[in-house]
Amino acid sequence: MPVLKPDFAAAFDAWPVPAAILDVDLKYMTCNAAYEAISHRSRQSLVGRFLFDVFPGSDGAQQDALKQSFRRVLSTGKPQHISSARYGFTVSEGKNVERSWTVSNIPLFSSGERMIGILHCPLDITRLTQGDQSQAEHPIDDDEALVVRAAQSVLNSEGARLQELFHQAPGFICVLEGPRHVYELANDAYYQLVGHRAIIGHELADVLPEVISQGFLDKLDRVYRTGEPFIGRAMPIQLQRVVGAPLEMRYIDLIYQPVLNASRQVTGIFVQGNDVTEAYTLAQEVAYQAAHDALTGLFNRREFAKRIERVAGPGPHALLYMDIDHFKIVNDRCGHAAGDSLLKEVATVLSAIAGESGDLARVGGDEFALLLPNHTSDAGVQLAHRLRRAVKDVNFVWNGKRYGVTLSVGAATFTDAVWDTLENALGLADAACFLAKEAGRDRVKLGLPSDEDVWRQLAEMDNVTRLKEALRDDRVVLYGQKIEPIGTNDGTDVTYFEVLCRLRDIEGKNIPPSGFIPAAERFGMIEALDRHIVAKSFAHFSALPAEVRARVGYFINLSGITLGSAGFLAFVGKLLEELPNVDAKRICFEVTETATISDMRRSAAAMQELSARGFRFALDDFGSGMATFAYLQQLPVQFVKIDGDFVRAILDSEASCIIVESVVRLANCMGMQVIAEAVETPELLAALGPLGVHFGQGYVLHMPEDLEKAVYQEVGSIRSRHDVRCRRD
């Protein structure tokens, strides 16, 4: 006997009981053939129309009774039955007739238990109510007839609901019968997954031959044989979804659940799952982007660190740290598009040489790193030279102009003997790379623990890290050293302080400038440090009482890099807007002589603009450049600070005395005042007065101390002297 395979759509249409499906607004969604027959209207003419527009009834009372039934269904979510009612309607000939009806209205729900419509089943019982000949021959009890009709309506509604839920289920579903896995049922999602092939009644091996070699038929056989379900997550499956087209890769979550009969024997397999290709692909893309550099496609710094942590074996393992020489020239002259193009070209060359020997990553703007598991230092250095030579052969042309490309490489090794050696290796390779650049570039440097230059470089790199953290946490402490008058000065009673800085480490100890200024200059942190000190000095000055602000002035050091940077003038302007108490005439920027002369045009322009705002300037370390007299008249300078080496030498060298005296005379002619630095002994202080020096600065005059303390001590001293003068007067 053949197995009955249900087709719910066909069953609904062939069902002898009239039935229509209405949405929650009582508009027709569909109906079956029996409903078309009793209503004398086609399905096409009904769909989308309001029921009471099509069948208004003979009067308002008829319509109200039917509307009340629908309202109860919509409000309670439960079926409602009208056992007998008279309702008129117009037949196709245009004739209005009155008929007797029994009506069942049954709610329909989605899989989420949301009401989506009503199954409306009207049955013409006019003959029953009129007692015609057929009823006389086959008498039917009214209650029995109503029960039969209600049961038919319920079965019809449940079948429609099950069919709707099955076919509209978001996941794919099918039922396979017997050991040969013959399709009994399949929903719309399953057809969409495999392509619209002939399925029902066919074996899976015939319908989807491409999955046999992928192991899915073996999995089905195992479930049928053992009765144990199978669950797979994001399983790759290749399907020919279009006839004649190539196989398409999809990823599916899959469950094979055995179907058991009453004797607990497996009779089939229930297949359920979801096509998760889009979600899986998106997750893979996100994971790839999280681990790779967007420009070059190489591993990024984060992923490189993970791969270092996963290195297995005793080693030794090698690390190469690489930096493109003079990359900034290409970036600045040709633009970022050229820089990006160069980075991609270099990455391609490095990848070709490195191959699968290790993990290559872009770890910075123009910096790359290569992890070489189980490589000795000699092997690492040899590969580094191959990489260096390959990059040197790059023929990079931009806008018709060729640019030479070279690479500096630092190499180091580590083992698993002590975990700290891994961190040491990273530091050694980075430091060695920096030393290779300093030695002339296009070089390979092996970082060894015994190399003093490498360890000195590491110490400076540690200082940079310490400086970054101090700036981030605002652990820069302002100190002040008084600049004392020692001769004739401008006659004002303003006391000047040079603002000095210290770093306070996490343990609360102060680090002197020698512990971080050289590293800041060497590693490009000096502008960030300058801006931090300027902002903090302005804020400190602004917070002073008005009477104190009128009596003090600050000398603030600036590097030539900061003075010449494009955004510094705007930075100062914004500070003045935010801190209106800052009097520019009380702020003197100190710029070193050598930094100013190195870019005279840019320095002079910046100084002129700041001078226009009221700021004053001091030329620091004057005399160290040996070529400055000719430039003084081009700069808006009010103070000249003589280099400490000349000042210290005046006690022992007549030439130094002459140089200092010459500077003083020149400054006097140009309306400038001279400050002698490094005044450290009373003898030196006494010798400066006869030379005409206006101010002195050094330990014999004032030891640097906290700026707040220094300022208020001096203000108190000024007040005391003022009080004494007042009493004398």
What percent of the chain is modeled with pLDDT above 90? 31
Residue range 545-555, pLDDT digits in tens: 998 999 999 99
| Residues 203 and 77 both lie in one domain | no
* Mean residue pLDDT across the chain: 82
- CB burial of 380-398 (b: ≥16 within 10 Å; e: otherwise) equals bbebbeebbebbeebebeb
pLDDT at 496: 94
pLDDT at 130: 61
Q: How many Å separate Cα 589 from the centre of its chain?
A: 40
CATH number at residue 131: 3.30.450.20
Mean pLDDT calculated for residue range 157-183: 75
| Residues 178 and 44 both lie in one domain | no
Residue range 489-511, pLDDT digits in tens: 555 678 999 999 998 888 888 88
Reply yes or no on whether the pLDDT at 518 is more than 80: no
pLDDT at 127: 66
Distance CA 613, CA 583 (A): 10
Last residue of a domain, one of 405, 435, 450: 450
Reply yes or no on whether the pLDDT at 153 is more than 70: no
Q: Please indicate, yes or no, if residue 353 is contained in any of the structural domains.
A: yes
pLDDT at 144: 43
Distance CA 233, CA 252 (A): 7
Asked if 510 and 504 touch (Cβ cutoff 8 Å), the reply is yes
pLDDT tier for residue 624 given thresholds of 50, 70 and 90: low
| Residues 252 and 311 both lie in one domain | no
Q: Which residue has the higher pLDDT, 596 or 706?
A: 706
| Residues 312 and 275 both lie in one domain | no
| Residues 307 and 274 both lie in one domain | no
Q: How many Å separate Cα 483 from the centre of its chain?
A: 50
Q: Are strands 96-109 and 80-90 parallel, antiparallel or unpaired?
A: antiparallel
| Residues 499 and 579 both lie in one domain | yes
Q: Which residue has the higher pLDDT, 498 or 629?
A: 498
Q: Is the dihedral of CA 302, 303, 309, 315 positive or negative?
A: negative
Last residue of a domain, one of 228, 248, 281: 281
Residues 6+ apart with CB under 8 A from 594: 560, 621, 624, 625
| Residues 359 and 416 both lie in one domain | yes
DSSP H or E run through 705: strand 705-706
How many domains does the structure of the chain reveal?
4
| Residues 520 and 633 both lie in one domain | yes
Give the 3-state secondary structure of 138-180: CCCCHHHHHHHHHHHHHHHHHHHHHHHHHHHCCCEEEEEECCC
Reply yes or no on whether the pLDDT at 160 is more than 60: no
Distance CA 87, CA 102 (A): 10
Residue range 295-344, pLDDT digits in tens: 999 999 888 888 887 887 777 888 999 999 888 888 878 888 888 999 99
Asked if 501 and 442 touch (Cβ cutoff 8 Å), the reply is no
Q: Please indicate, yes or no, if residue 383 is contained in any of the structural domains.
A: yes
Distance CA 49, CA 22 (A): 10
Tell me how crowded residue 317 is: count the other CB atoms within 10 A of its CB.
25
Q: Which residue has the higher pLDDT, 462 or 397?
A: 397
Reply yes or no on whether the pLDDT at 101 is more than 50: yes
pTM here is: 0.49
Q: Please indicate, yes or no, if residue 1 is contained in any of the structural domains.
A: no
Residue 618's domain comprises 477-721
Reply yes or no on whether the pLDDT at 93 is more than 80: no
Q: Which residue has the higher pLDDT, 5 or 564?
A: 564
Asked if 689 and 461 touch (Cβ cutoff 8 Å), the reply is no
| Residues 252 and 328 both lie in one domain | no
Distance CA 63, CA 54 (A): 12
Reply yes or no on whether the pLDDT at 91 is more than 90: no
| Residues 495 and 370 both lie in one domain | no
Tell me how crowded residue 162 is: count the other CB atoms within 10 A of its CB.
12
Residue range 257-272, pLDDT digits in tens: 999 887 889 999 999 9
Q: Please indicate, yes or no, if residue 286 is contained in any of the structural domains.
A: no
Q: Please indicate, yes or no, if residue 293 is contained in any of the structural domains.
A: no
| Residues 44 and 71 both lie in one domain | yes
pLDDT at 424: 67
Residue range 236-259, pLDDT digits in tens: 999 988 877 889 999 999 999 999
| Residues 333 and 435 both lie in one domain | yes
Closest CA to 357 of 385, 390, 379: 379
Out of 93-102, 196-205, 303-312, least confident range? 93-102
Last residue of a domain, one of 281, 315, 331: 281
Mean pLDDT calculated for residue range 353-380: 89
Reply yes or no on whether the pLDDT at 600 is more than 90: no
Out of 173-182, 373-382, 520-529, least confident range? 520-529
Per-state percent for the chain, helix, strand, coil, to nearest 5: 45, 25, 30
Q: Which two tokens stand for residue 99?
A: 């008929």
Closest CA to 593 of 489, 697, 677: 677
What percent of the chain is modeled with pLDDT above 70? 83
Q: Please indicate, yes or no, if residue 288 is contained in any of the structural domains.
A: no
pLDDT tier for residue 598 given thresholds of 50, 70 and 90: low
Q: Please indicate, yes or no, if residue 639 is contained in any of the structural domains.
A: yes
CATH number at residue 631: 3.20.20.450
Specify burial of residue 287 (Cβ count, 10 A radius: 0-12, 13-18, 19+).
Answer: exposed
Asked if 254 and 235 touch (Cβ cutoff 8 Å), the reply is yes
CATH number at residue 438: 3.30.70.270
Q: Please indicate, yes or no, if residue 537 is contained in any of the structural domains.
A: yes
